[in-house]
Structure 1
């Protein structure tokens, strides 16, 4: 992720205002907070959960996400959580719920409004975010009562049982009720609005996974916004949130427009999603980005068939 986190490749007008705040015991129970450098009234909060097949990932790798959303006026929280093989399902969900407990108790100190909370995530993190929104038992465990106004889920697995791949079997195989681990099985009319986005050529979590989940939400009367980014794979949607690759697709502005629909900013002014023009000439350090992304995608085993 290093190229996307270079200072020159990230949004300005933002700052990391909290580093390694402990929301529990242990080295993986820490979080960071990003904020606009100029903030007046309390701002909406985005709790972003990164992916990595539930077995890899570090919050510092997603600084570009924190600064991107902060540049649009959000207070952004990115928390580490325990991973396989240290834990398996559902422990990582309890970790994120515990981090949301910290948000509820502390975010106003850093300019965030706990009553305007949105969840977001990519890949396994999209799964985690959606599960926290669909199953209230996780948040209830930590006394979290903040309303979730919407969920933005990128490249997420929502319907992947039976578990066909080793990476998934390792994490979910011991669940006493496998069907109960699947977001598509937990949808009710009480679910919050959701924005679901995916690349059409994702080799890790195929586009059809998003299509099936979106249809289940619609059938249950839940608002769902879908975006299918033509010709892109698994990592590209989250990387395009950052300034370095934003010209490739309007993921960031699509997310912000969705959050605005459901009360992110009191002004109610619609947010228009527009991808910027590509740079006239990519610097040498950026030119091999496609190769880097291919290598990232190759790190992951498919989650669903």
Structure 2
């Protein structure tokens, strides 16, 4: 494809997009950008937020947020996830929020494939918005963290989406917030767990095992990018059994050779408020964003980052 073409892959002409740009909370925001080129589903879309006065060639890192909702509900624009992309702009980055198709319309691994398609689209297009395509940081909450870890655990998803670059060359790290990593544990923990796992993963324990992150890493082996990827695992004090999931994931990956894992528990929140507070402008009351800022500063070549504090009025 001719790189000089001005039309963005999988969506409308960039000039048309600029005409639809909204100014929100110190950021310009593009809403519902399709990341699938042919016949996209309404949920195969993402939002992009950038600083109002982004410096030329800023090469900013981009935080890519994937919402939770038990693989069956949730939206990048609503409820707990409102304004998270703009919150990342306030923290000093480009912000992206991703939607994906939901169950019961689709089952695993279709949700994962959608997130892989979104990441591929961003790698190819984020430079047009002032982001560095080689400085993506993936952030997921609950079921969204499961999807993020899946595309890092098995490179086949990005390959199938058309990505030729190894994922560890452009994704600098990932953040799992109250992530669901062990689907077998989820199914067996409570009656609610059985409702959550079917229809997304079916009724059989074999399907649950195959969808668990540890099983994916075991199947792929040492070639799994997740065995080397810098990770930040954040949980709430009141987080169902997901603290156990994070501890288990850390053990699995450490045993596989990953020595770049940070794990934290936020004492003043629960499984839902931990993500709701991400949009809070007051960093003193937003410990999760503080952790993300420190993490990104470590992994995304901070000396190359243009300071956003000089780009706002």
TM-score under structure 2 length normalisation: 0.76
Change (3 A) 1:237 1:19: same
Structure 2 residue 35 is the aligned partner of structure 1 residue 15: no
Report what 1:221 is aligned to: 257
Note if contact 1:200-1:206 (Cα within 8 Å) is conserved in structure 2: no
Q: Counterparts of 1:253 and 1:123 in 2: how far apart (Å)?
A: 19
Q: Counterparts of 1:31 and 1:268 in 2: how far apart (Å)?
A: 24
SS at match of 1:237: helix
Structure whose residues are more often helix by fraction: 2
Q: 1:71 aligns with which of 64, 81, 90?
A: 90
Q: Counterparts of 1:220 and 1:180 in 2: how far apart (Å)?
A: 18
Report what 2:191 is aligned to: none
Report what 1:184 is aligned to: 214
Q: Counterparts of 1:53 and 1:27 in 2: how far apart (Å)?
A: 19
Structure 2 residue 284 is the aligned partner of structure 1 residue 260: no
Report what 2:74 is aligned to: 57
Report what 1:153 is aligned to: 176
The gaps in structure 1 that reach 5 residues or longer are 1-10, 270-305
Report what 1:26 is aligned to: 41
SS at match of 1:239: helix
Q: Counterparts of 2:273 and 2:282 in 1: how far apart (Å)?
A: 8
The Cα shift of 1:231 comes to 4.6
Note if contact 2:151-2:157 (Cα within 8 Å) is conserved in structure 1: yes
Report what 1:207 is aligned to: 243
Q: CA-to-partner distance for each residue in 1:2-42, whole Å, 9 max, x for gaps? A: xxxxxxxxx943221x2111122121111110111222212
Change (3 A) 1:225 1:194: same
Structure 2 residue 275 is the aligned partner of structure 1 residue 235: no
Q: Counterparts of 1:220 and 1:258 in 2: how far apart (Å)?
A: 22
Q: Counterparts of 1:152 and 1:197 in 2: how far apart (Å)?
A: 7
Change (3 A) 1:267 1:109: closer
